[in-house]
Chains A and B, each alone.
Chain A
């Protein structure tokens, strides 16, 4: 396939904030080439009438100009989709790595942090597997132990604990299914109020994931388990088979269902979905839970799975509960992950016997769009350091919420710690003025007097606590900085440097050179200014502050690197 066409398709998808062309056309991943062509053509025709429409102009003109390229790409959707997914991943990988490094710089990695990173990875379109690999590699490189690494699963545990049961997944479940279940279990953990109990449950879940996530350990576990038979307690509950008559060794996937054979005279299970096939949900900032009513129209247990095609549409439990006659399947809409004002997602309920029901979920934002700090598009430098802090009021009876994007190690109100992470819920909303503090390791705290009010939003800039006037000594070795990434970091960062320079701008243009020195870890260590503005203490101070912002790629072959920025600022 022509790589230029693929590039164009990629560019277009970014423009319309869609993951790939089929999603743009509202088609499923397995759509036929013919239907894709037809849809694309119709879209183009429609867009012709929109090309002067300011809201759709860019989309329309791009589509008109590059119609042939897009159409070529869709001649063969399968390789295209593969490519689109691979691209999404490789594009966002540097960003992800940078974020991970930022977190690892703290010296350890807690469960919460790992969760945060994993969430980021998913938002960026990086697959679980890749994420795990990268995290593993980087944590090894930096010598930081993962919280999960400290877990040791004893040989005893391997023999006695039914990890499948613990997570509530069938033995033949795929890794993805296991993963989804593992995550929702972990989320459930957060609801446990007693900290000791929470930790113990969490540890068990982590252990289960540790064993089942790795192909090799899982196979070993399966084998040992089938040989020795399940622990007695479990046997009684899920598997009324004699321990002495353990089944022969079976490979996963071909293993028979762990439930007992049913009596043949029972009516086969039939999946009936009672809820509307199109669910329109208005959302604000808070997550919304949606219930889909499913009834078993037969008598045999109803087994099946629920899957979503969108990250913002989270399935809380990926499988149906077979024993229930009627059940509510819960899905969660996470508005933070919705980029546009409106988003469409599809839930697919598939029963074991192959019945398939699709429910379209249309989430529409109420009110103005919430400013999200887009991890992908915004550039690399400021990920860990800069964010948006938005105060939201969730509604009449509920609370104030502070959303911090990406996240904060600690948030304090009037000196009192109110929480951490990317969302802080205030149970007693402060009246009017308050001092808001955001803390991060390695950075000076961000302190601001604010009025807590719904819709308030503040840019949080954290300044590195080390002094910004470190200059490399002559004896130090100059390293090669990855020019491409460094360039990207600078692109994002330049407006803020310019803002500093502009603050001292009279009516004459200013020009000169800024040198930003970078230490071995990629963090900036100093900034120098030559030329206009160098004599202004305000500008220099501002530059020093801003220079803490960018994180460059770590240096490989030297002690320092210098990024040069020739500025030329004109009065606006």
Chain B
């Protein structure tokens, strides 16, 4: 199997549920079901023996029986140092636990597909910082996977959704409230380009917090009655938690729910009305509202300027969140989006756009566009079509590509124009239709791909029907940083200061070059510390990496040193330190540092491969 057509598995590694998908040969992203035939798998691990665990629904069932050996919500601890859990005498980092979930997904996918899966794209909340991203990538490596990219969840959701809307210029707000994180991202679809305008969020706000409010309320009511608190014991707590979770879900469709509590022989049934539930969680909704407003402000947009609002994540099924969005935007949220699946679907699409420039679906579209352009039969362009219905329809890739064809035709092939300079229409030459997979670390598709063989002349691409057309248009994804990056320097008084080099919201890829100078006479080594976060002093920010340039000839104070930060689309920050006079250069990839050293990752990988995952 050649590199180019190897599967790229898109994985939504969620706090509560994980999902995965691949793009089929026709350009359609498909959800891969797990061994139980379900589209999502609970992100729960039960350790039942030394080196043996079970992931998914089975693990959830064990939580009331063996709470000490079940892990849930591990995503909330990704990137945290010193956090590890112990099972059967062995310590597991959050990366290792996530790796077990990833392995379960990978193995289920391989079974269903009958092929080996190695390359993956994993999604993370946009608001994850680099340690959290790094930890996620490490988890992938530990699970024996090759992580091609880490991509933002709202971006992925927008790709899946936007695939049908490519063509015009649309402004889109993605609000993702999952089990453990909250993300709001404002995106622009312009031509075949998807750009992140602004993003904000809270990695500590999700459905779990709504569950906890219910739980606390019920537990307190129970306490008032019996002076006993069911939260005080692990197993009864878990049982009550499950009940609250179910009550929460039923309150999304019903006006009231009953939560039975049975603890130490005392019984009670708490009655919860939707009204009460909304009262208990009003401040959480307020936080969502604030964040959404901040994102709009950052993007410099008014609510009325948005074309679509997209609800992603299971918790957006709660009417209070829908209502909030309708209140803010005076719009109905976009229909036909499956909030549980679109992140995974977008992840596999992003994997193809970025890492599989020769995917058959992309190739066939390019060929057809080329062919169409050659024919150049002047046909009036159809009006931009507003797609409705399922986002990921069977022919979705097809009809987009087809519309692009039509536009190409209508525009009469201005060969040199670039569609991205004229964002309001999809006009452009066949060549520019290819898009430039710019930013991707891979090289451009070889020239041969543009060649059209003459005997394909009669292909049925211009009959105006959707059926039969297969393909996928090259899409450019332009992400932005969610945290500012900086460097620690000494000021005139030789006190440490943080200087921001790449501000938050900078479009990727981005390169910063700056000159700094020796702080002391006769220095022979330079240390560059890369920081993340807003602040002026070291303790206000996080140091995410260090580059040291040693063995320099001693020179006077003020000798210049060049520092280059290049941030690629794959969330890889490359830092180069160049001694200007000698040209001595040191380069470091700050990509994916989640707190483990390479050796630790390798060891964990070894251990993980010996572990039984069911």
Q: Which A residues fall within an 8 A CB radius of B?
A: 44-46, 48-50, 52-56, 61, 64-66, 282, 341, 364, 366-368
**Is A52's CB under 8 angstroms from B234's CB?**
no
Cβ of B237 and Cβ of A50 under 8 Å apart?
yes
In the bound complex, do residue A366 and residue B73 qualify as a contact, i.e. CB atoms below 8 Å apart? no
Q: Quick one: given A282-B227, A367-B224, are A44 and B237 in contact (CB under 8 Å)?
A: no
Contacts of B84 in A (CB 8 A): 64
Contact of B68 (CB < 8 Å), options: A49, A61, A341: A49
Q: For A45, what are the chain B residues with a Cβ–Cβ distance below 8 Å?
A: 68, 86
Chain A residues in 8 Å Cβ range of B86:
44-45, 48
Q: Which residues of A contact B232 (CB under 8 A)?
A: 55
Report which of B68, B73, B227 forms a contact with A46, defined as CB distance below 8 A. Answer: B68
Least CB distance from A520 to B in Å reads: 33
B463-501 interface code vs A (CB 8 A; 1 in, 0 out): 000000000000000000000000000000000000000
Q: Given the known inter-chain contacts A49-B70, A50-B234, please indicate yes or no for A366 contacting B83, CB distance below 8 A.
A: no
| Besides A53-B234, A282-B227, 15 other A-B contacts (C-beta < 8 A) | A44-B86, A46-B234, A48-B86, A49-B68, A49-B234, A50-B67, A53-B241, A55-B232, A56-B231, A64-B83, A64-B84, A64-B85, A65-B82, A341-B229, A366-B227
Minimal beta-carbon separation of A566 from chain B (angstroms): 14
Contact mask for chain B residues 219-254; partner A; CB cutoff 8 A; 1 contact, 0 none = 100001001010110110110010000000000000
6 nearest A-B pairs in the assembled complex, by CB-CB distance: A49-B67, A49-B234, A49-B68, A55-B231, A54-B212, A65-B82
Chain B CB count within 10 A is highest, among A50, A282, A364, for A50
B44 → chain A closest CB, angstroms: 11
Task: Using A46-B68, A48-B68, A367-B224 as known contacts, say yes or no to A53 and B83 having CB atoms under 8 A apart.
Answer: no
| Interface assignment of B215: CB less than 8 Å from any CB of chain A | yes
Q: Which residues of B contact A61 (CB under 8 A)?
A: 83
Min Cβ gap A366→B in Å is 7
B238 touches A49 (CB 8 A): yes
Which chain B residues in 197-234 approach chain A with CB under 8 Å?
208, 212, 215-216, 219, 224, 227, 229, 231-232, 234
User: How many angstroms from the CA of A364 to the CA of B228 in the assembled complex?
Assistant: 10
CB-based contact B82/A364 at 8 Å:
no
Bound CA–CA A226/B72 (angstroms): 73
B110 proximal to A (CB < 8 A)? no
Q: How many residues of B contact A (CB 8 A)?
A: 27
- For chain B residues 244-286, which have a beta carbon within 8 Å of chain A? none
Most chain B CB within a 10 A radius of its CB, from A55, A56, A282, A341: A55
- Which residues of B are found within 8 Å of A66, using beta-carbon distances? 82
A64 to B80 alpha-carbon distance, docked (Å) = 12
Contacts A48-B86, A49-B67, A64-B83; is A55 near B234 (CB within 8 Å)?
A: no
In the complex, residue of chain A having the shortest beta-carbon distance to the beta carbon of B290: A572
Which residue of A has the minimal Cβ distance to B235? Answer: A49
Asked whether A65 lies within 8 Å of B85 as measured between CB atoms, the reply is: no
Taking a contact as CB atoms closer than 8 A, the residue among B69, B83, B215, B229 that contacts A65 in the complex is B83
Inter-chain contacts of A56 with B (CB < 8 A): 231
B227 touches A364 (CB 8 A): yes
B76 closest partner in A (C-beta): A52
Tell me, rounded to whole Å, the shortest Cβ–Cβ distance linking B289 to chain A.
11
Smallest CB–CB gap between A28 and chain B, Å? Answer: 23
A55 near B219 with CB under 8 A, answer yes
Q: Tell me which residues across on chain A come within 8 A of B80, comparing CB atoms.
A: 65
Across the two chains, which residue of chain B brings its CB closest to A64? B83
Which of chain A's residues have a CB closer than 8 A to the CB of B82?
65-66
Which of A45, A53, A61 has the largest count of B CB atoms less than 10 A from its CB? A53
Max count, chain B CB within 10 A of own CB: residue among A52, A56, A64: A52
- Out of B68, B227, B237, name the residue touching A53 (CB < 8 Å): B237
Q: Find chain B residues with CB under 8 A from A282 CB.
A: 227
A368 partner residues in chain B, CB cutoff 8 A: 224
In the complex, chain A residues whose CB is within 8 Å of the CB of B215? 54
User: In the complex, what's the smallest C-beta–C-beta distance from A17 to chain B, in angstroms?
Assistant: 15
With the chains together, A61 CA to B67 CA distance in Å? 15
Contacts of B85 in A (CB 8 A): 48, 64
Check B68–A54 contact: CB distance below 8 A: no
* Residue of A whose beta carbon sits closest to that of B82: A65
Please indicate the chain A residues that have their CB under 8 angstroms from the CB of B68 in the complex. Answer: 45-46, 48-49
Closest Cβ of chain A to B185, distance in Å, is: 23
Closest CB of chain B to A198's CB: distance in Å? 40
A366 to B216, CA, bound (A): 18
Residues of A contacting B241 in the complex (Cβ-Cβ under 8 angstroms): 52-53
Q: Are A54 and B227 in contact (CB under 8 A)?
A: no
The smallest C-beta distance from A284 to any residue of chain B, in angstroms, reads 12
CA distance A330 to B295 in the complex (A): 64
- Minimal Cβ-Cβ distance residue in B for A367: B224
Write the chain A residue with the least CB distance to B70: A49
**Across the interface, which residues of A come within 8 angstroms of B231, CB to CB?**
53-56
Given the contacts A64-B84, A65-B80, A66-B82, A54 and B216 also touching, CB distance less than 8 Å: yes
Q: Which residue of A lies closest to B231 (CB)?
A: A55
Partner of A52, one of B208, B219, B229: B208
Give the residues in chain A near B67, CB-CB below 8 Å: 49-50
Chain A: CB-nearest residue to B286: A572
| A-contact 0/1 string along B60-90, CB 8 Å cutoff | 0000000111101100000010111110000
Question: In whole angstroms, how far apart are the Cα atoms of A56 and B224 in the complex?
Answer: 19
Is the CB–CB distance between A52 and B72 below 8 Å? yes
A71 CB to closest chain B CB (Å) equals 12
Output the nearest chain B residue to A55 by Cβ-Cβ distance. Answer: B231
23 contacts between A and B (CB under 8 A): A45-B86, A46-B68, A46-B234, A48-B68, A48-B85, A49-B67, A49-B234, A50-B67, A50-B234, A50-B237, A52-B72, A52-B73, A52-B208, A53-B234, A55-B219, A55-B231, A55-B232, A56-B231, A65-B82, A65-B83, A66-B82, A282-B227, A364-B227
- Compute how far the CA of A55 lies from the CA of B83 in the bound complex, rounded to whole angstroms: 19
Tell me which residues across on chain A come within 8 A of B73, comparing CB atoms: 52
A366 to B80, CA, bound (A): 39
B73-117 contact mask (Cβ, 8 Å, vs A): 1 or 0:
100000010111110000000000000000000000000000000
Give min CB distance, B528 to chain A, whole Å: 28
- State the Cβ distance, B494 to closest chain A Cβ, in Å: 23
CA–CA, A25 and B231, complex, Å? 19
Binary flags per residue of B101-136, CB closer than 8 Å to A gives 1, else 0: 000000000000000000000000000000000000
- Could you say which residues of chain B place their CB within 8 Å of the CB of A366? 227
CA distance A53 to B231 in the complex (A): 7
* Chain B minimum-CB-distance residue to A282: B227
* Chain A residues with CB under 8 A of B219: 55
- What is the CB-to-nearest-CB distance from A499 to chain B, in angstroms, rounded to a whole number? 18
| Docked CA distance A367–B227 (Å) | 8
Q: Which B151-167 residues sit within 8 Å CB-CB of chain A?
A: none
For A364, list chain B residues within 8 Å (CB). Answer: 227
Nearest A residue to B66 via CB reads: A49
A53-B82 Cα distance, complex, nearest whole Å: 20
Residue of B nearest to A53 (CB): B237
Which residues of chain B are near A49, meaning CB under 8 Å? 67-70, 234-235, 238
Q: Which of A45, A54, A366 is most buried by chain B, counting CB atoms within 10 A of its CB? A: A54
Q: Is the CB of B229 within 8 A of A55?
A: yes
